[in-house]
Amino acid sequence: MNGKNPDPAPHPFSGREAERSPDALSSGVDLVREAFRYQSRFDGSTMVFKIDFPVTEDPAFPYLVRDLALLARTGFRVVIVPGAKEWIDSVLGEYGIVSRYMGNTRITASDAMPFVEMAAFHVATRFMTGISAGRTDAVIGNFVRARGLGIVDGTDMERTGTVDKIFTGSINTVLSQGMIPILPCIGWSPAGKSYNVPSDEIALAASTALKAIKLFVISAHEGLRAGQYIFPPGFEAASGGRVRRLTPQEAENILALNGEGKGGPDKNAAGEKGAPSRKVLGELALALKACRAGVDRVHLMDGREEGAVLLELFSNLGAGAMIYTDEYEAIRDLRSGDIPDILRMMEPLMQQGILVRRRAEDIQERRGDYVVFDIDGKIHACGALHDRGEGQGEIAAIATDPSCTDTGLGRRIIGYLVDRAKKRGMKRVFVLTTRAHDWFEALGFRESAVESLPAERSRSYDRNRKSKIFALELN
């Protein structure tokens, strides 16, 4: 299915600004700002895109390759590794050759090799065609030196090979010309013998050899979803069951709980709800290996969603799942310089009376009480814990940037503040809320009376505002 919206919202550059509300306009401006921030951060960096064959057949494919061409033209060093497994299977099937596998690895018989080469280059050429349409140059090359796998557990792997070396010098020469190198799933021995090498392996070796800052693994399925995979205790997917970001440790735990994605046929390659897909787990395993080998961020994406790569790259809304090893996000103490940003986030909520009005001076005065959720240097949520005496803390000023709601930021800020309250020896935390009582109730808070507040806070309670009091006992 193509993820294209039949009635898409106007694009920030579509020239339809006059029809849009000021809100839509300011979020468009924010998006452009964010794009510039990421552009300056990643400009000149190398990114490897491993793109599976089924994506090549999707109506969104031309848009995807054009986006990659655009990235290459604007200073990014784009390397493409096309996966061709399904196409190779189908070409071999047409010629009456049945593929045998050992685990996930095809045993490429010598007489099948010409057909494998034909299929691999056919898929690589599809990329070349799309990139040409994006007015960028690409080179399909012999960038991989391979050696045969030989005999594995008594089985002759024949023309199945493994990466011996990635020719970084040649790839860098191509990249320095603003061109896109394409690495088909074929490698050559120093003696000139060709081998079929898994594209996962090429993508991993290329990412590490080229010191790529990102590896994109792009397939044609929905990816990791709650309900279909067992997640470790405490791991929470975002709204809709989507996994948006995870650490290598979480990826490792998910793999361990779901059978590592090894062995047996993939009963759920289509990613339907129900059983875990071996393919999805295999991609997660690849992402984990890449992170452990030094790639900062690996993005697992559905290539059928138009614009997904650009969104993932240029905004921290993201469209896929990201496995990251660097400082991507953190809850940290508020700094003075953050005050304008949190006021900007709180202003619409204060105007609607959802949050009590605060001025910069009020926040500055109690700066030590505030924390912010920082994603890639931009603040997306905030909150405060005020010590009200008598063993009680008040959680206040909880707000999430509207572009990031339902991704778990609010819940994580609350968790952080509750932990802080425990560490400070508080026995109870409470919150005064007009509109979010259901949310706090879902987080374990229970409705409470004004009389339960510390005496001074009970006196300053605004009886006209009629906020509900929700409290959490910490013992």
Which parts of this chain interact with ligand COA (CB under 6 A)?
239, 349, 354-355, 381, 396, 398-400, 405-411, 431, 433, 435-436, 438-439
Compute the least distance from the CB of residue 433 to ligand COA, in Å: 4
**If you ran DSSP here, which 8-state letter would residue 456 be given?**
H
Rounded distance, CA 83 to CA 217, Å? Answer: 10
State the helix-helix crossing angle for 248-257 and 278-292, rounded to 10 degrees: 150
Sheet of strand 468-473: strand arrangement:
329-333, 370-375, 378-387, 392-400, 428-433, 468-473, 446-448
Beta carbon of residue 300, minimum distance to ligand COA (angstroms, whole number)? 21
Give the residue closest to ligand COA by C-beta: 410
CB of 468 to ligand COA, least distance (A): 10
Closer CB to ligand COA, residue 120 or residue 399? 399
User: Taking the complex as a whole, how short is the minimal distance between the CB of residue 305 and ligand COA, in angstroms?
Assistant: 20
Residue number, 12 or 410, with CB nearest to ligand COA: 410
Annotate 15-32 with DSSP letters as a single string.
S-GGGS-HHHHHHHHHHH
Nearest residue to 70 via CA among 7, 8, 133: 133
Residue 115 vs 373, nearer CB to ligand COA: 373
In terms of Cβ atoms closer than 10 Å to its own Cβ (0-12, 13-18, 19+), residue 298 is buried
Q: Which residues pair with 139 in a beta bridge?
A: 181
> To the nearest whole angstrom, how small is the minimum distance from the Cβ of residue 416 to ligand COA?
12
Q: Of 196 and 400, which has the nearer Cβ to ligand COA?
A: 400
Using a 10 angstrom Cβ sphere, with 0-12 exposed, 13-18 middle and 19 or more buried, the burial of residue 308 is: buried
Taking a C-beta distance cutoff of 8 angstroms, is the pair 143, 171 a contact? yes
User: Closest CB to ligand COA among 183 and 397?
Assistant: 397
User: Nearest distance from residue 275's CB to ligand COA, in Å?
Assistant: 24
List the beta bridge partners of residue 375: 329, 378
Q: Pick between residue 219 and residue 433 the one whose CB is nearest to ligand COA.
A: 433
